Structure formats: C-alpha cells, structure tokens
Structure 1
Amino acid sequence: MTETPHSKTHLLAAQHADNPFSRPQTPHDLQIGFCGLGSMGYFMARNLAKQRNSPIFVWNRTKEKAESLKQELGPNKVIIADSLEEIAKECDVVFTNLANDTVVKQVFLTFAGALKATPGHKNKIFVETSTVYPTLAGELDDVISSNHAHLVMAPVFGAPPAADAAQLIVVMAGDYRSKKEIAHILIPAVGRKVIDLGGNLEKAPTFKLIGNSLILGSLEILAEAFTLGEKSGISQEQVQGLLKDLMPAPILVNYGAKMVHDAFDGEKGFAIDGGIKDAAHIRRLATDMNAPLPALDSAHQHLLTARALHQAQTLRGEQKYEKLDWSSIVAGARVSAGLDGFDSAKHSKVVPED
C-alpha cells in the first residue's frame, strides 16, 4: 500500500496519542535496572531487556526468578545484581515493581543509602511502577531526590497477560525531562500508551487507584449478577452470553469467563492479596476525600471472604490453587447466597420450565 501524506499525518497523530512526549535528545545508551520480578515485573523486565542493545541489571528477593529470566533471554540480555546497592550504583534508570508500600519504601531507603555512600555526578531516574498509596510518592521523593536523582511515579494498568504482551497502560507523573526519557523506554517495549498527569507525583498513584476502583467495582457487579442468575435458574453461561452481547469490554468478558469456569489461579492473574491491598488503599482514599464508595466496601468484604475460604481449604489440604486470582471475589457473593464458593458444579440447578 502506498503511504500518502494524509496517512502519515494519521500515523503521527496515533503515535502522539499513545506517547505524549517527543523523543528525547539524550543518547539511548542508559544502563537499565529492574527490581521485583513478580507476576508483573518478570514480564516487564523481560520485554525491556528484549528491546535493549545492552543487558539490563535485575534484582529479586529470591534469585530463582532472576535466574529464570537470565536463562530465558541469555547473559547478553540479563545481568543478575547481587544487591539493591549494586543496582543503585550501576544503573542510570531503575524500575521497581514490588508487592506493597512497606517493601517499596524499604527498597528506596536502601537505594538512598547506596547513593550517599558512593555519590556520583550523573543524575539517575528511579521509576516506581507498583500500586501504592499516593502519599508514599512524596516520601519516596524526599528519600531519593537529594542524591542526584529524580523520581517518576509510573503505575501500570493491565493484568499479567497484558504485561506479557507489552500492552500495559502507563500512568506517569514527575519531572518532565525524566518522564520523556522513561516514556520512550517503556513505549512500545512494555506498554501501548502513556497517560501524563503532570508534575505532582501523587497524581499517578491516585489515578491508578481510581482506575482499579473501576475494575474492582465491575468485578463485584459481575459476581453479584452471576450469583443472582444461579439462584434464579439462569446459568452463568447464559449471563456471560448476555455480558458479551450487552457490554463486550474485554476486561469484563475475560473476568466473567474466570468466574463461570471457576478459574481462580492467582499464578496466572492478579493475586487476591494484591486485590485486597488495593481495595484497602481505595477505601482509604475515599475516606480521605469524603467520597463514599459502597460498591468497593462490598467488594472488599467479598475478597476477604474468598481469602478466608481459601485459607480454610489450604489448612485441610483441599485447595485447588496455591494462590487465588481476585476474580474469586465471586466466592464471597456465592457464599452469601448459600452457594459453594469455589465449585459451581455443586450448585443446585433449577430446571427452567418449557
């Protein structure tokens, strides 16, 4: 197909929509480091390493994940760091994707200690991609900014399959020049779009919690609808079919399918512990802002119920999955309605009349 000036204009417009930053003038030989190779971080680090001409440093609390990544990509793509201090000293840009706020702060304090011990003259950029409470952004900035370093808050939207496919949405706040550099490192290597929220670091984690409230609230509504259908003699498959016809958003359809098929494997999705942590953050933000979110209150309770049921099964050695996905929120709705939480095959089926 012949490319016309008109088609070039549309291509440039599409690229601008996906990445609002012009390409930086600095050389692209920056040394990259990545800390945290969990269900999201592993794929993000892998996709970054694939796109780089030089190997990236990686660190994980347990070395098995780092060894696995190095074995997958080879030593010309991955260098396993012995410590967080090594990452801080050797890398120009450091990404973190970690389990919770406490771990994030501990890691950044370690970075700061390393930088103070061996001060350099070159500015570094630290990029926090986890889901944390907004006020932590200011604390991290205080910790790291006095050491010739800039902080960019860049939480990501997307489940592990989206991270695997480099289809994440990146929300970004912080120093403009640093964001520009990071945006072109991440897009399209790790994600498909950047949303820029300006210089206030707290805006990015706030927006992430708002986005997760949309997802979690939708999961709660799905769980309630599937459960009401089961109690009324309408199969989950029929409700899922209506969902596809009426609201065919991929995220709803995919999570609906997990509920229908009791596919609650947290190793292949978003683990329930992370979902409960996020729900707590969202409810705290709602309290701080005097903005009631009753759907999130119900979702939080149903997540806790699902986790409690799973822990009881684990004690008896009856659990199907070692870790639950947060789509198991439906177990809370089911149990509230007198149904089995995790095995819909045990539900009494109402035979519809002819």
Structure 2
Amino acid sequence: MAKVAFLGLGVMGYPMAGHLVAKGGHEVTVYNRTPAKAKQWAEKFKGKTAATPKAAAEGQDFVMCCVGNDNDLRAVTIGADGAFAGMKKGATFVDHTTASAEVARELDAAATKAGFQFVDAPVSGGQAGAENGVLTVMCGGSKEAYAGAEPVIAAYARMCKLLGPAGSGQLTKMVNQICIAGLVQGLSEGIHFAKKSGLDIASVIETISKGAAQSWQMENRYKTMNEGKYDFGFAVEWMRKDLSICLAEARRNGAHLPATALVDQFYSEVEKMGGKRWDTSSLLARLEK
C-alpha cells in the first residue's frame, strides 16, 4: 500500500482514483477544482480531500494527475499552491493528462531539480476503460521512476509500458490519436457507402470484421454510428484538442500528417453542426447531413 494523491476528478480521473482504493488498496487523497466533487468521491471511496494541489501532494509517495490540457497541468503543478511545492524528495509524479511532449519535458526537468521523479503517462481506452480499470497507459520517464510507478498504475491499467525518456508517453499518445482519426473517418465513409449502396450494414460488418478491415472502432462503434447515436464516449472537442497537439508536434519534428489535418477539419464541421460533445464516431453525421 502506498500513500497516493490524485489531482483531477473528471470522467477519467474519478474512476481511476477509485480503482486506486478499491483494487490497489492505497490510501488516497484527492483534489478537484470543484470541491463538491472531491467530497462526493471521498464519501464514496472512503478517501481524503485536500483544498489545494500542494496540500494533496504533501507527504505522498505518488501523485497522479489527470486534467484537461497543458495550461491546466501547469496550474496544478507549478506555483505556490501547485503539487510540486508540496512533494517530498524521492516521490513520483505521474501525469495521465493528454498534453504536449514539451510540457512533459518541462515538468520532468522541474521535478529532477526538486529531487523527485516524473512520469508522463497519457491513457487510452476512454471513459469505459477508466471505469472498468482496463486503460492502456503510455509512459515516458526514467526506468527507475517507471518501475516504482507501474505497480500503482496497475490498479486501472490493462497495458502499461515505458516507451522512452520524458515526453515519450505523450508522443505515443499522439500516434494513437493519429491512427484513430484515420480509422474513424474510413469507417464512416465505409458505412456511408454501404448505406448508399442499399446493403445491410450489420451483415456487411459481420463479414468484413473477420478480415483485414477489422478494428476496435468497427467492432465497438458501428452499431451506434448506423443508428445515428453519438451521445457517449470521447467527445469531438477533446479529440480536436488532441489532434491540435499532434499537428503542432508534427510542425516541430517535420512529420507529414495530411490525413490527420483533414480529419481535424472534418471534426470542425461536426462542431458547427452542434456536435462539440458528440462522440468522435460522429464523423458519419457530417457525411449524412
């Protein structure tokens, strides 16, 4: 059992922090921008709350974090009330936010200077993966930092791997989102084409899902896509945030991402249709408008 803090109780962080207690058996203190949500979590999981990130981090062996973006991450880590000001030497900060590789390297340097460790560890699997404790966790950091953090992360992970130094976890999450964007657009076009051709969608998917076209997106999203239901899962606005990180990194490293840039524009059209909070599979709605 470890003493753990968790910062950020959104749709991902709330169940992840819960698994640290229920499955990991850890002593957990939580911080959330909305204190009422932290109080609700603490009552449900018999944990503690803290008024600031710094207070949450004080005396902890591990501080886990899952917030919105680079700015949110800096807000809970750096500054007088930030977690970094409260962390003890030898502790480890694990960041599950999907953020830039740049901020991961920045925080890793700050942690090293202060005498504690940092792991960037973005996740994939969505809300369902968080609730069921079967997330895929992509990590960047030192071997020592990862080795200490991995048993704690295991409370909500199905797959966890160290991909390289600080920033490598974020870069791998970018690869993940690039691949998903292309897959969902291809699946949307396939279903759209099948409908226009008068084919039975269920029969088509049952057949092609046993071959080379098979994907997680196909098996888990085709039914709701076919029914025009997009009120669940990973929201379009979150995907656009992630794709903006991918495209910005590509400008830095010289990678060419023409399909990713195009799909990002397609998502902007979905947003204009009122689909900001629709699931990312709503690319089909754009084709059918």
TM-score, normalised by the number of residues in structure 2: 0.90
- Alignment partner for residue 166 of structure 2, among 193, 201, 214? 201
Q: What aligned pairs does 1:1-354 form with structure 2 within 5 A after superposition?
A: 29-73=1-45, 75=46, 78-110=47-79, 116=85, 120=88, 122-187=89-154, 189-198=155-164, 200-246=165-211, 247-265=213-231, 268-310=232-274, 323-332=277-286, 334=287, 339-340=288-289
Distance 1:70 1:226, change over 3 A: same
Asked whether the equivalents of residues 259 and 330 of structure 1 are also in contact (C-alpha less than 8 Å), the reply is yes
Residues 151, 114 of structure 1: alpha-carbon distance in 2 compared, 3 angstrom cutoff: closer
Q: Which stretches in structure 1 are left out of the alignment for 5+ residues?
A: 1-28, 312-321, 341-354
The answer for unaligned runs of 5 or more in structure 2 is: none
Q: How many residues align?
A: 288
Q: 1:236 to 1:307 in 2, by over 3 A?
A: farther
Q: Where in structure 1 do 4 or more consecutive aligned residues deviate above 4 Å?
A: 111-116
Q: Is the 8 A contact 1:112 1:147 kept in 2?
A: no
Task: State the Cα deviation string for residues 273-321 of structure 1 (Å, max 9, x = none).
Answer: 110011111222233233222221221111111111116xxxxxxxxxx
**1:15 match:** none
**Distance in 1 between residues matched to 2:235 and 2:198, nearest whole Å:** 31
Q: Distance in 1 between matches of 2:251 and 2:170?
A: 16
* CA distance, structure 1, for counterparts of residue 171 and residue 83 of structure 2: 29
CA deviation after TM superposition for structure 1 residue 238, in Å: 4.4
Q: Specify the SS of the correspondent of 1:201.
A: coil
- The separation in 2 between residues aligned to 1:241 and 1:111, in whole angstroms, is 56
Give the secondary structure class of the aligned counterpart of 2:210. Answer: helix
Letter in structure 2 aligned against 1:328: S
RMSD across aligned C-alpha pairs, in angstroms?
Answer: 2.3
* Distance (whole Å) between structure 1 residues aligned to residue 39 and residue 269 of structure 2: 36
Please report how far the alpha carbon of residue 328 of structure 1 lies from its aligned counterpart in structure 2 after TM superposition. Answer: 1.3
1-side partners of 2:17 and 2:80: how far apart?
19
Q: Output the amino acid matched with 1:264.
A: Y
Structure 1 residue 157: Cα displacement: 1.8
For the residues of structure 2 that align with 1:241 and 1:192, how far apart are their CA atoms?
A: 27
Alpha-carbon distance in 2 for matches of 1:205, 1:68: 30
